[in-house]
Amino acid sequence: MTITQPDLSIFQTLESEVRSYCRGWPTVFDRARGSYMYDEDGHAFLDFFAGAGSLNYGHNNPVLKRALLDYLERDGVTHGLDMSTTAKRAFLETFQEVVLRPRGLDHKVMFPGPTGTNAVEAALKLARKVKGRESIVSFTNAFHGMSLGSLAVTGNAFKRAGAGVPLVHGTPMPFDNYLDGKVEDFLWFERLLQDSGSGLNRPAAVIVETVQGEGGINVARAEWLRALADLCKRQDMLLIVDDIQMGCGRTGGFFSFEEAGITPDIITVSKSISGYGLPMALTLFRPELDVWEPGEHNGTFRGNNPAFVTAAATLNTYWADGQMEKQTLARGEQVEAALRAIAAEHREEVADVRGRGLVWGMEFHDKARAGSVASRAFELGLLIETSGPESEVVKLLPALTISPEELDEGLRILARAVRETA
């Protein structure tokens, strides 16, 4: 693919230096449909990024778009704060019927604000309010958001440094396999909890991702998650599962913790909950934890009614019959086989291949290699990103609705990009 140099001057002169994704993909995108994005010159790019996991059902999904257009054309409420609306009622009824009840969950639903970090901040605040304690335990290489509370439980040094103030009341513990299996799971954590001289204030809660997306596609074993849930119960700590990127079917089940058979006290959901890329987030929690006073935590844009419309349509279309989970797991096997073939071809260069469902990562010994692969993939018409503390992992997040043929096409491009950056 030959990409002519686009006019990026307005972005370079007026937009802040904080911009990031556009630096790796130096073109101007104009439209998108399904698993493809198109720049203003008409070049097609197969999207293995999916809005950082916000577009699990592809770009401009026609079923969701129709529901949204019908709602807007009849002058449905767009902005509603936390007022009761027909769109919110339809979403809540559908979410309860399609997601919560079939999984035996009786969690209350809170709309904390439109982004993932809003959901995390609400979860941390609620845990502290319920338990009357300040400390929160998180895990090495965790990522939970960019606001101050979320950064305090995030591991990435670069992102933490951007806070500009001390990040307090958060304590990191080793994530699954962080110590290469040489130390018994939670030995250090439980010893600190039991020792009055350890210096660890008793935590209100533990927050965990079942798969660390930004941290490098680090996959927690089901038995590790079960042991964590048991530890939280025994030590009177709430368990928060951050399912912002790995929920909404990314790993197979609607919630990523389903495979482990655990029931978190608090769950954060965002990214693909609206189905269409519209901002929306949820904080879910056990009914007995609902100790909020009216207005104690709120936000102007927590009533994004167009997002409620597309979210309800998404659940009815993709989650009412159980087929989406089976399809995602099958597509995941397709990705795993291709990545392991690439790793076998480049066994001296590829350090590891890991993932679940339709989130996969390929780690390179040469940490700069992942960025080179992503750049070459862009030139060949594939959008992929990197993750990990040193951006050493090529990260694959295709839409759950991607076809086997599109998946094969992207995996072939990836294999070529790895080969051509050797």
Tell me what pLDDT residue 331 has.
98
pLDDT at 422 over 90: no
pLDDT digits (tens, 9 = 90+) for 324-362: 999 999 999 999 999 999 999 999 999 999 999 999 999
Q: Assign 171 to helix, strand or coil.
A: strand
Distance CA 152, CA 342 (A): 37
Report how far residue 95's alpha carbon sits from residue 249's, in angstroms, rounded to the nearest whole number: 14
Token pair of 235, please? 């030590």
pLDDT, mean of residues 49-57:
97
**3-class SS at 390?**
coil
- Mean pLDDT of the region 234-260: 98
Task: Identify the pLDDT of residue 252.
Answer: 98
Instruction: Give the whole-angstrom CA distance, residue 90 versus residue 76.
Output: 13
Tokens (6 digits) for 14: 């007026």
Q: How many CB atoms lie within 10 A of CB 200?
A: 17
pLDDT of residue 5: 81
**Are the CB atoms for 136 and 203 separated by under 8 Å?**
yes
What's the pLDDT score for residue 123?
Answer: 98
Q: Under DSSP, is residue 166 helix (H, G, I), strand (E, B) or coil?
A: coil
Q: Are 173 and 103 in contact (CB under 8 A)?
A: no
Residue 227's pLDDT is what? 97
Of 225-234, 255-264, 297-306, 330-339, the least confident:
297-306
The whole-angstrom separation of Cα 370 and Cα 385 is 9
Helix H or strand E segment including 138: strand 136-139
The answer, yes or no, to whether residue 2 has pLDDT greater than 90, is no
Q: How far apart are alpha carbons 206 and 231 in whole angstroms?
A: 10
Percent of the chain with pLDDT over 70: 99
**Amino acid letter for position 44:** A
Please name which of 247, 206, 43 lies closest in space to residue 123, comparing C-alpha atoms.
206
- At 29, the amino acid letter reads F
Q: Output the pLDDT for position 347.
A: 95
Alpha-carbon dihedral 217, 273, 103, 190, rounded to 10 degrees: 40
Q: Copy the structure tokens of residue 251.
A: 């790993």
Amino acid present at 187? L
Question: Quick check: 287 pLDDT over 80?
Answer: yes
| 88/77 Cα distance (integer angstroms) | 10
In terms of pLDDT, which residue wins out, 182 or 393? 393
- Measured between alpha carbons, how far is 342 from 319 in angstroms, rounded to an integer? 33
Q: Which residues of 357-368 are buried (b: 16+ CB within 10 A; e: fewer)?
A: bbbbbbbbeebe
Per-residue confidence (pLDDT) for residue 210, from 0 to 100: 98
CB 77 within 8 A of CB 85: yes
Beta bridge partners of 360: 355, 396
Per-residue confidence band for 266, with pLDDT thresholds at 50, 70 and 90: very high
- Torsion angle, alpha carbons of 57, 61, 62, 64, to 10: 70
Q: What share of the chain is helix, strand, coil (3-state, %, to 5)?
A: 40, 15, 45
What is the dihedral angle through the alpha carbons of 376, 381, 383, 386, rounded to the nearest 10 degrees? -10
> DSSP of 115-135, one letter per residue?
SHHHHHHHHHHHHHHHHT---
The pLDDT of residue 9 is: 92
Average pLDDT, the chain: 96
Confidence at 67, pLDDT banded by 50, 70, 90: very high
| pLDDT of res. 393 | 98
In order of 81, 113, 207, 264, 364, the CA distances from 117 in angstroms are 18, 9, 13, 18, 30
Please state the rounded mean pLDDT for residues 129-135: 98
For the segment 257-273, the average pLDDT, to the nearest whole number, is 98
Q: Rounded mean pLDDT of 120-128? A: 98
Give the SS3 label for residue 219. Answer: strand
Reply yes or no on whether the pLDDT at 1 is more than 80. no
Kindly tell me if the per-residue pLDDT of 3 is higher than 90.
no
For the cut 80, the answer to whether the pLDDT of residue 4 exceeds it is no
Residue written as tokens 């990024």? 49
- Whether the CA torsion 180, 184, 190, 194 is positive or negative: it is negative
- pLDDT 10s digits, 148-174: 999 999 999 999 999 999 999 999 999
Q: What is the pTM of this model?
A: 0.97
What gap in Å lies between CA 95 and CA 109, rounded to an integer? 9
